[in-house]
Amino acid sequence: MCIVNIALIYINNLVNQKALGMSTIETVGVIGAGQMGNGIAHVCALAGYNVLLNDVSQDRIDAAVNVISKNLTRQVSKEVISQQDMDLALERIGSGLPLDRLSEADIVIEAATEKEDIKAQIFRDVTPYLKDSAILATNTSSISITRLASASDRPERFVGVHFMNPVPVMKLVEIIRGLATSQETYDTSAQFVDKLGKTLTNSEDFPAFIVNRILMPMINEAVYTLYEGVGSVESIDTSMKLGANHPMGPLMLADFIGLDTCLSIMQVLHDGLADTKYRPCPLLVKYVEAGWLGRKTNRGFYDYRGENPVPTR
């Protein structure tokens, strides 16, 4: 496609956005440089957005950029992207420290730990620096968008944008409106997700939305199956991989997501829906209490310290 055509499409898009009352997103702030945050930064930079990555220290941001670089290299070697795409994506990622750098962002996506008080504190800290027009989004996997929005100064420009792990591979993003989310915020967020090359689904603001409402009770049931001695770690995971065609067994997937995150989501379901069927398995609680959180701590239902994962029970 020649450069004139690209310019015309760009101008056309801008005109359409204005006509629909949407704001234009050029710079994305990402708060939290962990596994979800670095994945979100990765896909945003590849899609052409400038990214400002924020965390509690520059070391954590540097570590995240290292992971992004490794994952981009993997995509180059698989010929999913070119070396030039990778170089340009890395150039687009800058540090979002200190927090006032996020004043440049058109959308800020919070991807911090799944704890409501921490997220609410982040919103209180960041909002004084944001442009009036900026959208504040959260990647929460379960917590009420309406409640989180009320901790910000902009409930009408607040939205849930929930990515799946690993972000560069998984095609889905759930968009969740809070009670006050405006149509313009929804439309701008949907267009942003579309530009990332992801497919969006729309979920109402109920505990754990769609994916985790269905996925987490399945994982929790797998932990109960282990707890009650119905099967070993290996037989449970092999059964679901070969018997239900899941790419990973539920226990390995739990380790991959993080057992603390799985437990937090089950607690949100249990508290929010008040149904005993969402009771977190005591064995899941025990693993979290031990600090065996899965891949990120090198131990969960599997031990990852050796060459191959070894079941821990």
Angle of helix 58-77 relative to helix 83-91, nearest 10 degrees? 170
Window 54-73: residues binding ligand CAA (CB under 6 A): 71
The three-state secondary structure class of 158 is strand
302-303 and 199-203 as β-strands: parallel, antiparallel, unpaired?
unpaired
| Contact call for residue 115 and ligand CAA (CB under 6 A) | no
The H or E element that residue 51 is part of is strand 50-54
In this chain, which of 247, 306, 307, 308 binds ligand CAA, going by CB under 6 A?
A: 247
Site pattern 3..42 for ligand CAA (x: CB under 6 A): ----------------------------------------
Alpha-carbon span 276 to 163, nearest angstrom: 28
- Of 129 and 304, nearer to ligand CAA (C-beta) is 304
Count residues binding ligand CAA (CB under 6 A).
20
Given 54, 71, 139, 141, the catalytic residue: 141
The yes-or-no answer on residue 71 being catalytic is no
One residue of 6, 57, 74, 83 binding ligand CAA per CB under 6 A? 74
Provide the mask over 155-194, with x wherever binding to ligand CAA is found by CB under 6 A and - wherever it is not: ---------xxx-xxx------------------------
DSSP 174-235: EEEE-TT--HHHHHHHHHHHHHTT-EEEEE-SSTTTTHHHHHHHHHHHHHHHHHTTSS-HHH
- Which of 190, 211, 218, 283 touches ligand CAA (CB under 6 A)? 211
Q: Is position 162 annotated as part of the catalytic site?
A: yes
Catalytic option among 38, 142, 189, 212: 212
Q: To which residue do tokens 């990515």 refer?
A: 163
Return the residue of 14, 56, 80, 118 that touches ligand CAA, per CB under 6 A.
80
Active-site residue identified among 162, 189, 203, 220: 162
Please report the sign of the dihedral spanned by the C-alpha atoms of residue 279, residue 283, residue 288, residue 293: negative
Question: Mind giving me the DSSP string for 69-80?
Answer: HHHHHHHHHTTS
The CB-of-296 to ligand CAA minimum distance in angstroms stands at 13
**CA distance linking residue 186 with residue 181, whole number of Å:** 7
Residue 141 lies near ligand CAA (rule: CB under 6 A): yes
User: Is 240 an interacting residue with respect to ligand CAA (CB under 6 A)?
Assistant: no
Query: Which two three-digit tokens encode residue 278?
Result: 């969402």
Residues 6+ apart with CB under 8 A from 57: 97
Give, in order, the Cα–Cα distances in Å from 86 to each of 70, 72, 89, 148: 10, 6, 5, 34
141 assigned to active site: yes
Q: Which position among 1, 78, 204, 243 is part of the footprint of ligand CAA (CB under 6 A)?
A: 78
Distance CA(110)–CA(138), nearest Å, equals 5
Residue 54 annotated as catalytic: no
Site string for ligand CAA, 262-291 (x = CB under 6 A): ------------------------------
The single residue of 38, 174, 203, 264 carrying the catalytic annotation is 174
Binding site for ligand CAA (CB under 6 A): 71, 74-75, 78, 80, 141, 164-166, 168-170, 211-212, 215, 247-248, 253, 257, 261
